[in-house]
Structures are given as C-alpha cells and as structure tokens.
Amino acid sequence: MTKKLLLGVEAIGQGAIDGGMSGVYAYPGTPSTEITEYIQENEVAIARNLHREWSANEKTAMESALGMSYAGKRSMVCMKHVGLNVAADPFINAAMTGINGGMIVTVADDPSMHSSQNEQDSRFYGKFAMIPILEPSNQQEAYDMTRTGFDLSEKLGTPVLLRITTRLAHSRAGVIPVEKAVSENKLSIPDDPRQFVLLPALARKRYQLLLDNQVKFEEASENSPFNSYIDGEDHSLGIICCGIALNYLMENYPDGCHYPIVKVTQYPLPSKMVKKLEKQVDKILVIEEGYPLVEEHLKGFFENGKKILGKLDGTLPRTGELNPDIVAKALNIKTSLGSPIPEMLVNRPPALCKGCGHHDSFKALTEVMSDYGYGHVFSDIGCYTLGVLPPYNSGNSCVDMGASITMAKGAADAGLFPAVAVIGDSTFTHSGITGLLDAVYEKSNILIMIGDNESTSMTGGQDSSAFGRIESICEGAGVDSNHIHVIEALPKNHQKLVDLIRHELDYNGVSIIIPRRECIQKSARRISKSKNH
Amino acid sequence: MKCDIVLAGVGGQGILSIATVLGYAALENNFYLKQAETHGMSQRGGAVQSYLRLSDKPVYSDLIPFGKADLILSVEPMESLRYLPYLSPTGYVVTNTTAFKNVTNYPETELIMNEIKKLPRAVAIDAEAIAKEIGNSKASNMVMLGAATPFIDIDIESIENGIREIFGRKGEEIVNLNLKALHAGRAFAEANK
C-alpha cells in the first residue's frame, strides 16, 4: 500500500474511516478541527454517507456519538481540550453506561497555548472517567490506534479516550494505511435494555462494573502492541516516555538510547513494565507532554521511593510543549544555538483580516464606550477576541465559550452599567443561547452584540447550525423584538450603528444588535470555488 | 541525505504550498519526512512557520532542534531573521525581499536587509518581481522554492513532479507558469549564492 502524507489529525480521520466508523460528531476547535474536515471530504466517507456534519457544541456531539454507539454502530467525537469541559457530563457518564458500538473520544490538547486559553491535560479526564487512554507517539500510530481503537472499545465495553497534542495534530508524515476500510457495524440495540439507564439503583451496578473493569483495562495496557519496554545497558537512569515525548528523546539518541525506556502510549499505566524499570534503574525520568500526570502518580506524597525526575523537580519545564532541546537539557546533552534574533525584530500578533466586518462593529462600539471608560465589554471566544488588541482595545474578558453574555449579566446584577457582551454567531449557538434565557428571564440590563459573520471563522470557516436564524432564536428566547436589530456591518453604516448602540444602552433590559456580514475569508473561498467549477 | 528546513512567512502568504511540493518530491524519493505546520490563531496575519525535515533515515522529532536547520526559507524578509537560532553554522538563508507590513512598528526595510547581508550564507531575492516578469506575481512562492533548490539535496525533476502533482488540477497553463517560476528562482540563486 502506498504511503500517504498525512497530518496527525488526518491520520486519525483516515483511521476512523478504515476502522469502520459510521459517524463523526464534532465542534471545530484548534488543533482538532481537521479530523472532521478530512472525513467530510473523504471519498469513502462520502460513498458510505458516514455522519460528518458539525454539531452545535461538544456536549451535543458527545451525546450524539453515544447515541450512535447505543444503536450498535462505531462512532467518534472530536474536540479540543477545553471542549471536553463542555462535554464533561456525557463523557464521565458514558464511562458509566459503557458502549454498544465502539466509541472513540478524540481530544486534542494545546500545550504552549498556541490557540487556546489554557493547557489542561485531557489525560486527567480519562483517569477521572476511569477509561483507557490512547496517546499515539507519531502519525502512523495515530492512524493505527484510531483504526483498532474501535475493536478495543468493543472488547472492553467502554469508550476510549484518544489524546493528542498540537504538534502531532499539525505535523505531517508518511502513513501506510490498510488496503480497505472494514465494514460498518449493523444496527443493533444493546442486549441489556437498562444498560444506558443511569437511575441510582442501576448506576450503582454500572459503577461497580466500571471499577471491576479496571483490571481488564490495565491488562489491555500491559499487552498493548503500542506500549513497550526497550532495554538499555546503562541502568543509572530509566526513562518513561509518554506519547510524542519518545520522538524528542530519540532525536537526541539517533543510534539508540543507552538507558532503558518504557514507551507509554496506552493507559492505565502498564504497571508491570513500570515496576520492572523501577527495579533495574537508580532513578527515573518521566517525559510527558502536558501536566505531570505519570510523574505525580509515581512520585507519591512521601517520595520514599527511587528518585523521580520530571516537571515537578524542574528537570523539565512545567509549562509549554516539549521539544528536542528541552529533553536534551534534561539529559545533560549539549545543545547548540544558531545566531540570536536581531534586536530590531518586532512581533507580529494575529489581527482581524483587512475588510472584516468585525472592524465595523468594534469601531462603533469603541466610539460609544469611550464615554464610559474601560471595563464594560465582555468578549468571547472567536476572531472578534482580537478586538481586545489595539487599535480597539475593546473587551475586558475572554474566558470560555458563551461567557460574554453570562458574565455581562452577572456584572449587571452587581450594578455595572453599561454591561455589553460581544459574541460571534457560532459561539452564540454553541453556548450563548442558555445564558440569554437567564438574562431574558431576569430582564437583565445588558446589550448583546452578536457579530454574525455567518461562519465559525477562527477555525477555518465551518458552517454554524444557527445560520440565518440568529434573530429568530433571540426572539424565540423571549427578547422583545423591538430590541433586536440586524445591521449590515459596513463602514457606510458606522453612524447608524453608533446611534443604535447608544439607543439600546438607554433601554433597561436585554437588547440585541446583530452586525452581519459574511466572513471575508469565507466569501473569498466561495468565490474562488465557484470560479474553479 | 538529511535536510532540515524552516519555512517562514506571515499567515495568509501560503508557505504551505512550498512544503506540499517538497513533500511530494520527498515521497517520490522514498525519503522519510516530517512537516510541522502552524494552524489556528496565528493564521490571522501572525508570524507562521513550518518545520520540514527530510532524511533517508527515520525522522523522530516533528520540531527541528536549535542550531540544526540546514536552510531557512522565508517568503518575507523580517521573518527570515526570526528563526536564526535554528540555523546551523553551515546553514543557508533564502529570503524574499518584499516586506509584508501589517504592523505599525515594522522596522525600516534597509535595517532588515543589512542584517540579511551580514549573514555568511544568504540569498535575497525579489520573488514578486521575478514572478511578474514570468507572467504572474502569484507564482512568487514557486520562485522562492526554486531559489532554495540548490541547497536541498533532491533532484529538480522530483520537485517538478511535485509541482505537476499540486497544480495539475488547475490546468496545464498554471503548471507551466509555476515550473517557469521554479527555474527562474533556481537560476537566480545559482548566480547569487
């Protein structure tokens, strides 16, 4: 079979298709987005008509994937790390219900926060849910572990968590796929009609089963072809490498490492291998990307075992992603540095695109808000977060999807006036609607600007499920239609928008202004696509 | 054969088309390859880079270690300097001279060009002008790739095949334009290295 050049995320998409998946559910989020996009454009996925539409958010995606599993088919749900916070409820409880068709929960973490608000480590969620975790070390493993992950899930009766980090997600390498995708599962309802009913009396039984299954999960790790014990002659140190950490180690030992290594790509930790290592070596270095999960586990509270080196004792940095130089330093290997960056170099922060409609919204908003001083604008997650940067300096919060509306409401409850929320159409759909219901119910004195660019743009212009229905959703949620305004986000409407914002700030209640114009990147792509056809 | 390349530019300049062509060329030669890209927020006009690693032996790290890059290939002059800590003592810098100024404090172009001139092994090329001469300034990225080819140990035929593969669906005319751009860039670098 010929080698395909695939990003880690694409390898996962291909692995899911070849593994007999019937549907992917996802909300876009860097660095996970391209898994679903790859499946959306894949010929086999199209021919089989696999489910591949975007979901409104990660929670709806997780539940839909669980529903597909309930119906006996193999499903995958994909998200970025913070998306798992949104989907945590169904995630933890899916571990309780178990699965019918195989189910993979793919989560892409973003250490170094390239495009995120934190660097939380999803492996903790896997441990919290007490389910197996897969953490591939390279693109080929990302493919193989996804493809065989459905079998693992069905064999163990549990959803499995597939955790990757940015570097694997967005790096390309040759991947050798199998000849042919396996067939999809047939439709089948669970043998036990109450398997998915988590009423307390039934849930207690499921919980006991989950606890009993831990032994099986660990056995699976011990016997996993993806975990291995690699011997080395120098026993002064043993190394545990999780996921892609192995690559950074081997980069420093291209001809083989003289220390023994335990390669961990499937959890729970393969304890026999780890214990064998501990017996043989003087001390252990744990190299893992993200939080010190394995390190903390091995170190223990009293630290009365062999010395454990890693992020907690400063051998490796606590924050950010790993790289070959960081790992070299941890092993006292000499590194080199090219020439320094000339001092006159300036940073090039990301910015709103030239001609983007958000410019028009922020220009008007900034003009009106200058009367009130800073501290009144609650922003959200999306391109428009960039309004926080110069020249607009507009926005005093950006916390999580949908928090603009609810934080503005809370601040208004506290007496802040004015309190303005700035949110995009896709973020509003994802998690803004429920907050709006709270605000309407309490007649909160807030102004909500929904910057509607008819797209989920920061992640590349995906369609949003509320397309064309933002104002009717607001009206349906109970906002007075006299206080819902749609205005085309254009420079010529500047004064009109300024007047509208002023007018609505005078209204004591929930106001909605929707500056609308299609994302210019998206319209450019649409035009170039229609030209090519 | 081992060639570690830092591709540099500004989000939206399309440095990945260069990486894709080289990727195909590498696969044709059965080389191992890893290529880390920048997706997400930085694509909105921020500094973007791609680490492209080619070798006849397995490639482990997706990232290039400091001081080990054989080549910095930048489609923007200031960006060519941002990755100097990655450049090996024997490495080359190949950079476009057309500045992409989307920040108000962009340094004077002359200062940047002086820094580039100070480098022991650098080729500075006005890729837009050369591409325009050939017929379309949009081919400037392939001019840049061409200018880098003397420093990459892959047959030029394989790189041509990569261009045919990537631009094939856009038609014969586009393929030929990009092939011409490739050779114009290559000729410039051969004459000015």
Per-domain residue ranges for chain A? 4-218, 228-330, 357-523
Q: Spell A447-477 as b/e; 16+ CB within 10 A means b.
A: bbbbbbbbbbbbbbbbebbbeeebbebbeeb
- Across A342-404, where does the E strand assignment appear? 377-378
pLDDT of residue A530 exceeding 90, the answer is no
CATH 3.90.470.20 fits A228-330, yes or no: no
Interface check B42 vs A, CB under 8 A = yes
pLDDT of residue A533 exceeding 60, the answer is no
Please judge whether A337 and B85 are an interchain contact, meaning their C-beta atoms are less than 8 angstroms apart: yes
pLDDT of residue B154 exceeding 70, the answer is yes
By residue count, chain A amounts to 533
If you average pLDDT over residues A455-484, what whole number do you get?
A: 94
By residue count, chain B amounts to 193
How far apart are the CA of A328 and the nearest CA of chain B, in angstroms?
Answer: 10
Interface check B162 vs A, CB under 8 A = no
pLDDT tens digit sequence for B57-94: 999 999 999 999 999 999 999 999 999 999 999 999 99
Question: Distance (Å, rounded) from C-alpha B60 to C-alpha A190?
Answer: 43
Which residues in chain A have their CB less than 8 angstroms from residue B33's CB?
5, 172-174
pLDDT for A469: 95
Interface check B183 vs A, CB under 8 A = no
Helices (H) and strands (E) in chain B — how many of each? 7, 6
The count of CB pairs under 8 A between chains A and B is 155
Top-confidence residue, B37 or A149: A149
The single residue listed with the structure tokens 């894949």 is A42
- 3-class DSSP state of B123: strand
Question: Distance (Å, rounded) from C-alpha A309 to C-alpha A298?
Answer: 10
Confidence of residue A532 (pLDDT cuts 50, 70, 90): low
Q: Spell A223-262 as b/e; 16+ CB within 10 A means b.
A: ebebbebeebeeeebbbbbbbbbbbbbbbbbeeebebbbb
Q: Would you say A287 and A328 are in contact if contact means Cβ atoms under 8 Å apart?
A: no
Confidence of residue B39 (pLDDT cuts 50, 70, 90): confident
If you average pLDDT over residues B163-184, what whole number do you get?
A: 94
How far apart are the CA of A479 and the nearest CA of chain B, in angstroms?
Answer: 33
Which residues in chain A have their CB less than 8 angstroms from residue B110's CB?
none
Q: What is the ipTM of this complex?
A: 0.94
Q: Do domains A4-218 and A357-523 have the same CATH topology?
A: yes
What tokens appear for A497 in the block?
Answer: 């928008």
Fold of A357-523: Rossmann fold (3.40.50)
Express as a percent the part of chain B with pLDDT over 90.
Answer: 86
Q: Spell A301-313 as b/e; 16+ CB within 10 A means b.
A: eeeeeeebbbbee
Interface check B65 vs A, CB under 8 A = yes
Please judge whether B57 and A383 are an interchain contact, meaning their C-beta atoms are less than 8 angstroms apart: no
Please judge whether A338 and B85 are an interchain contact, meaning their C-beta atoms are less than 8 angstroms apart: yes
Express as a percent the part of chain A with pLDDT over 70.
Answer: 99
Mutate to test the interface with B, among A9, A110, A348 (most CBs of B within 10 A): A348
The full set of domain ranges for chain B reads 2-192
pLDDT for B93: 98
pLDDT tens digit sequence for A519-529: 999 998 888 88
Q: Which of A280, A231, A220, A273 is nearest to A256 (CA)?
A: A231
Superfamily of segment(s) B2-192: Pyruvate-ferredoxin oxidoreductase, PFOR, domain III (3.40.920.10)
Question: Distance (Å, rounded) from C-alpha A282 to C-alpha A352?
Answer: 54
- 3-class DSSP state of A198: coil
pLDDT tens digit sequence for A353-384: 999 999 999 999 999 999 999 999 999 999 99
Give domain A4-218's CATH architecture: 3-Layer(aba) Sandwich (3.40)
Helices (H) and strands (E) in chain A — how many of each? 21, 18
Q: Which pTM does this prediction carry?
A: 0.96
pLDDT of residue B29 exceeding 60, the answer is yes
Strands A171-175 and B122-125: unpaired
Which residues in chain B have their CB less than 8 angstroms from residue A349's CB?
46, 103
> Rounded to an integer, what is the distance from CA A65 to the centroid of its chain?
16
Please judge whether B23 and A172 are an interchain contact, meaning their C-beta atoms are less than 8 angstroms apart: yes
